[in-house]
Amino acid sequence: MLVGLSAALGAGLLWGLVFLTPLVLADYPGFMLAVGRYLAFGVLALGLAWFDRAALARLTRADWLEAAKLALIGNLLYYATLSSAIQFAGAPVPTLIIGTLPVVIAISANLLDRRRGGGEDSVPWLQLGMPLALILAGLLAVHSGGGQQAAAEGRYALGLVFALIALACWTWYPIRNSRWLRARGPGLSRAWATAQGLATLPVALLAGAGYWIWNNLGAGAPAYDWPLGPQPIRFVLMSLLLGLAASWLGTLLWNKASHLLPAALVGQLIVFETLSALLYAFIWYGRWPTAGEAAGIGLLVVGVLGGVRVFRRRGRAAQG
């Protein structure tokens, strides 16, 4: 139990770095932060591919196309919109919007199952009423407690739109990814993660080249000093850190926790990511959370944990 909890905490601490990077590199477009992170992850996957070469050789053309879709939406588009959301609206509100993922994913999966005629284990809306109300109240409290400065700059609403797009990307990704894995035989988890890293590399290269073309189309001076920007050493180091620590080591630690801990507990420990991201953000801002932000964080954490518990309880009842 202690090793599993430590692994989950370590994964959360590493994943929280992805929310800090847009603050550390605030003068970089979110799109280029995503390109840098996933170029690093793709290069790392090249080395890992040797260990999974037999499983990778069995993947079909359709499998590689699926890996490319997952890489484009679940990696590149997700992190580009999340980074932009944090830069436009500040860290707290986008972080908490993403923090609702465990409940949003569970609701979306159940709705899809119901549409396919397999919704016998779906959760009645009345049971979700209280957790969803707490989540909404928490988001509103953080919004009222910390969003005024960003709103005054005229970018806050755009940041919220980007955060919702990021939420949609990472709601779609795990559901799609899980269904692909369930349709195949066991033992493909590591090879499939490596395949997505390999698929991410050309996607990130094409995205970076596309950004260079767009950046240099205007008649004036380019808006971005392509490819490494105004702080090249920091940009490269942060990209490598995210590619190694967040994209690979964080997932490895989370998989370790998933093997050692009960499923009902693991689903709730994703909250470590949200809390770590908020901790890093407030350290970077050099301040404590306001009363509204603190209250909102507490409400959202309780709401997410309550929502996860509802789905876990229903799942155990269906299995029994």
Per residue in 100-142, pLDDT (tens digit) is: 888 888 778 777 766 665 554 556 667 777 888 888 888 888 7
Task: With a cut of 90, say whether residue 310 has pLDDT above it.
Answer: no
pLDDT in the model for residue 317: 53
Count other C-beta atoms under 10 Å from residue 7's C-beta. Answer: 21
- The vertex-126 CA angle with 124 and 129, nearest 5°, equals 120
pLDDT in the model for residue 280: 93
Average pLDDT in the 37-62 region? 90
- Is the peptide bond preceding residue 227 cis, with omega within 30 degrees of 0? yes
Count other C-beta atoms under 10 Å from residue 305's C-beta. Answer: 19
Average pLDDT in the 42-66 region? 90
The closest alpha carbon to 246, from 276, 205, 283, belongs to 276
Average pLDDT in the 151-156 region? 66
pLDDT in the model for residue 4: 82
Average pLDDT in the 289-317 region? 78
Q: Which structural domain, as residue segments, surrounds residue 228?
A: 2-319
Task: With a cut of 60, say whether residue 148 has pLDDT above it.
Answer: no
Domain count, the chain: 1
**What does residue 106 show for φ and ψ, rounded to 5 degrees?**
-65, -45
Question: Which residues, other chains included, contact 35 with Cβ-Cβ below 8 Å and sequence gap of 6+?
Answer: 76, 204, 207, 208, 211
Q: How confident is the model at residue 61 (pLDDT cuts 50, 70, 90)?
A: very high
pLDDT in the model for residue 218: 61
Q: Model's pTM, two decimal places?
A: 0.84
Average pLDDT in the 280-290 region? 90
Cα(267)–Cα(299) distance, rounded to whole angstroms?
Answer: 18
Q: How confident is the model at residue 174 (pLDDT cuts 50, 70, 90)?
A: confident
Task: With a cut of 60, say whether residue 146 has pLDDT above it.
Answer: no
